[in-house]
Amino acid sequence: MKNLLLVCLLAATPFTTTSWAADKVVPMAPAALVVSGEVLEVKDVEIYSYLRLKTKDGEMWAAVSKAPVKVGAKVSIENSMVMKNFESKALKKTFPTIIFGSLGGAGPVAAGMPVAAAKVVDTTPIKVAKASGANARTVAEVVTKAAELNGKPVRVSGKVVKYNPGIMGKNWIHLRDGTGKDADGSNDVLVTSAAETQVGAVVTVTGVVRTNKDFGAGYSYKVLIEDAKL
């Protein structure tokens, strides 16, 4: 099998019944954004599904948030990234290489099993009032004053324009409130949280600003609001 890879979800909390930290993860270079194939085998654990896929590059393993995927289904893994020497405590197995990603809408849907896919950016006009209370900031203020706000709590209101759940034990939320400019990226801020939401929702988040955050595997961010509460 050429280019043997093992595919898993960049949208997952630890692939164990306990926590992400319980699994040994050594990041590699990013994988292709989307990997597609036919499901040959399914192994479900408490909140995840491991999928052995037949792709154009050979057989690969996938692990995604638990979903009703059946053998024979055509699936796609989006937002994928490769990790090396991933140990699944639940399966009592170490994968030499594995890719984390989220199930795309073109996958199990084709087999009659709809699942939640990563949502795309909402491009409709946005105007959300600035949050009230202590540490209230606009999206543009967080982005443009990131160095000054690094390590400090902020409270931001905005519209969810992109949402990727369950990636590396976090839900990844992009917020916009109508402030800032698309040209320099000051109109959009990334938020990580354990709370769930959906594209189009207007929310207020409270979290800590972090700058130059590197999650490994090529995923690094100049600024984000980390571990926020909604």
Same-domain check for residues 17 and 107? yes
Domain harbouring 19, CATH code = 2.40.50
Q: Is the residue at 107 inside a domain?
A: yes
pLDDT value, residue 98: 73
* In a shared domain, residues 178 and 100: no
Q: Are 158 and 194 in the same domain?
A: yes
Inside any domain, residue 51: yes
Indicate if 191 and 94 belong to the same structural domain.
no
Residue 24 lies in a domain: yes
Query: Can you give the CATH number for the domain in which 199 is found?
Result: 2.40.50.140
pLDDT in tens, the chain (230 residues): 433 333 333 333 333 333 333 343 333 334 345 788 899 998 888 777 888 888 888 888 877 777 788 899 888 887 666 667 778 888 888 878 777 777 764 333 333 333 333 444 445 689 999 999 999 999 999 999 999 999 999 999 999 988 888 777 788 899 999 999 988 989 999 999 999 998 889 999 999 999 998 776 556 789 999 999 99
Residues 9, 97: one domain?
yes
Q: What is the model's pLDDT at position 124? A: 64
- Asked if residue 145 and residue 73 are part of one domain, the reply reads no
Q: Do 25 and 97 have their domain in common?
A: yes
In a shared domain, residues 94 and 18: yes
* Predicted local distance difference test score (pLDDT) of residue 159: 94
Number of domains the chain is built from: 2
Answer yes or no: is 99 within a domain.
yes
pLDDT at 27: 39
Q: Residue 15's domain spans which residues?
A: 5-111
Let me know whether 146 and 195 are in one domain. yes
Query: Can you give the pLDDT at residue 139?
Result: 97
Residue 117 belongs to some domain of the structure: no
Q: Is residue 119 part of a domain?
A: no
Whole-angstrom distance, CA of residue 77 vs CA of residue 152: 35
Boundary of a domain, candidates 94, 111, 128? 111
Residue 121 lies in a domain: no
| Same domain for 144 and 212 | yes
Of the residues 68, 94, 111, the one at which a domain ends: 111
Q: To 10 degrees, the CA torsion angle through 9, 10, 12, 13? A: 140
pTM for the structure as a whole:
0.54
User: Does residue 98 lie within any of the structural domains?
Assistant: yes
